A and B are shown apart, each in its own frame.
Chain A
Amino acid sequence: MLQMSGVRKTYSTGVVEVEALRGINLDVDAGEYLAIMGPSGSGKSTLMHIIGCLDVPTAGTYLLDGTDVSSMSERQLAEVRNKKIGFVFQQFNLLASLTAIRNVELPLVYAGVPAAERRERAMAALEKVGLAQRVQHRPGELSGGQQQRVSVARALVTDPALILADEPTGALDSHSTAEILELFGELNESGRTIVVITHEAEVGQRAKHLVHIYDGLLRESVPVATAGAAR
């Protein structure tokens, strides 16, 4: 599903070169639920950007669902993000002017799906996250937990190969956090591949596998000892 080998990422800020990732090797199988934990400055966000095809590695190879995405153009990356990845962000990143269902429809709009089919699929996704009653509400009229569920529905709607969550509970209270983690558990049960990036141990513990990142390198730490999550 996701294979990374020797992935490096170097940023140059003026004269100083910062090596954010220093050779990441990572394998994620289909149906996996992996948590990547690390403190701030560990390269966690950079790794998330590369997994999410928001950025390309400086060196190394990255295969997503069998496709090499390490040297794609921005246009091709946009297409890959649209088709293969469902994002869940810490700040939800919903468009305030759009209703819940329009927000969920957005990835389908960019995929060129006809309006009727779009509505149907967005509705189904909202039902799956238990928000069928709130489709016409705008984000401002929803609680934090509900907003995050809308963004999970948006991540699901394209039926992506991978759901990538970046600190999904960072802005939520403990009750909503439990709800969202519950939802992730259910989605994984039904066969979804999930990668969660977090600094909260509670969130990390709920995943099937857990890896830590320090100073741009991965260190294995497997709650349930199964091979394949990390090397």
Chain B
Amino acid sequence: MMGWTETLRTAIAALNARRMRSALTMLGILIGIAAVMLTVGLGQGAQQQITDQISSLGSNLISVSPSQSTSSGGFRGGGSAVSTLTMQDAEMLADPQIAPDVVAVAPTSSTSGSLQSSETTWTSTVVGTVPEWLTVRAREVDTGRFFTTAEVDSSANVAVIGSETSSELFSVGSPIGQTISINGQSFTIIGVLASEGSSTTSSLDDTVLVPITTFASRLSTSSSANSVSTIYLSGKDTDSLSAAYQQVNTALLASHQVTSENADFTVTTQASLVETATSVTGILTLLLGGIAAISLLVGGIGVMNIMLVSVSERVREIGLRKALGATPGVIRRQFLVEAGILGVLGGLVGVGLGFAGAAILTPILSMTVLISIPATLIALAVSLGIGLVAGVYPASRAAKLAPIDALRSE
């Protein structure tokens, strides 16, 4: 029986004898593999980017936002929604008896505010909240300090601003101790937040934080001074996040006297956000990857086509090899190996092109193209598989040729 080294050697010699054709055949596989790698890489890159962004919103974050329940139709037509969440809800959730897995609660209310410093004016989001906000949102103060619980209780006119807001309002000098006016009310700046460093969502760094009591009495546009727009909570750790979610949900359902069918609020965990984002990008990746996979399929058909041509061109050679003692199995293996080599070589160059494309596209699209090692190995295995599958029919045609018919053909 013929050894593998000889089979490989013969296959390479046959492919080498028709270099141009072999190269063009490989091109089909090559483009397919590179396209699949890039589209899947882009999808995974986008997925990771989104996941990172959501994680940067705060670790173990749970947010409760108001929603209009389907049964309370009276709320609907009224233009801007009246929040169904109140300060009392936030206080209740801070009770360790009610929600033991919640460690920090930060009720927030927000509005758009026009800011005026001694130099300039600027429009930003003004958020009323409590000191726990820092913990819950996983933020830090860069210079100065955050406001205290005492300042919340006394409705002090103090504000903490984001780094971008700071640089917009005060081009020179420290903003600490400066007075700015927010919607006509004057506030003293006591701190500047550390930059979140996210390039895509600059709004994280463009914000003004004031005590929620001060917000309610002096800035709120809401009819009810007691209502809050979102309650942020921090779970104890990642493992107890779903327990915390359950406790919050159950407590709010009970206090609002509603069921989960007509709930007037929505509880969202970071995990559920990530899940939603992942499923969306996952579908996109699948769709794009599927389109790219079709080009790979076309490449495979190209291999089969060229192998069939090769078999009919080499009928005489096949006949001679059979006369000299090649069994049908040996001939079949010969052509399968040729097709497999076309597939693998196309795949290898395709993977190379995929990496090169990823390196080029990343700065151009300012998106991460994430190419993983397992994905690369799968791509190679797939290209070998395509080569082999495409080779099966031509190879069995070659193996079935009768030696006398093959020798006779001129």
Q: Give the interface of A toward B (CB within 8 A).
A: 49, 52, 54-55, 74-75, 78-79, 81-83, 87, 89, 93, 95, 97-98, 106-107, 109-112, 154, 158
Pairwise interchain contact A110-B324, C-beta atoms closer than 8 A: yes
B326 within 8 A of A: yes
B79 within 8 A of A: no
What would be 28 A-B contacts, judged by CB atoms less than 8 Å apart?
A: A49-B404, A54-B407, A75-B329, A78-B325, A78-B326, A78-B327, A78-B328, A82-B325, A83-B325, A89-B407, A93-B320, A93-B323, A93-B407, A95-B320, A97-B14, A106-B321, A106-B324, A107-B325, A109-B2, A109-B6, A110-B2, A110-B321, A110-B325, A110-B327, A110-B330, A112-B1, A154-B324, A158-B325
The listed residue (B317, B322, B323, B329) touching A95 by CB distance below 8 A is: B317
B316 within 8 A of A: yes
Q: Besides the contacts A52-B323, A78-B328, what 18 more A-B pairs have beta carbons closer than 8 Å? A: A54-B323, A54-B403, A55-B403, A74-B327, A75-B327, A75-B328, A75-B329, A78-B325, A78-B326, A81-B322, A82-B325, A89-B407, A97-B14, A97-B17, A106-B321, A107-B325, A110-B321, A110-B325
A171 to chain B, nearest CB (A): 13
Pairwise interchain contact A79-B329, C-beta atoms closer than 8 A: no
Pairwise interchain contact B323-A87, C-beta atoms closer than 8 A: yes
B15 to chain A, nearest CB (A): 11
Pairwise interchain contact A81-B324, C-beta atoms closer than 8 A: yes
Name the CB-closest residue of B to A46: B404
- A107 neighbours in B (Cβ, 8 Å): 324-325
Q: Give the interface of B toward A (CB within 8 A).
A: 1-3, 6, 13-14, 17, 316-317, 320-330, 402-404, 407
- A79 neighbours in B (Cβ, 8 Å): 325, 327
- A75 neighbours in B (Cβ, 8 Å): 327-329
- A87 neighbours in B (Cβ, 8 Å): 323-324
Cα separation A133 to B327 with both chains bound (whole Å) = 32
Chain A CB within 10 Å, residue with most, of B1, B316, B326: B326
A174 to chain B, nearest CB (A): 24
- A89 neighbours in B (Cβ, 8 Å): 407
B325 to chain A, nearest CB (A): 2
Cα separation A89 to B321 with both chains bound (whole Å) = 13
Name the CB-closest residue of A to B9: A109
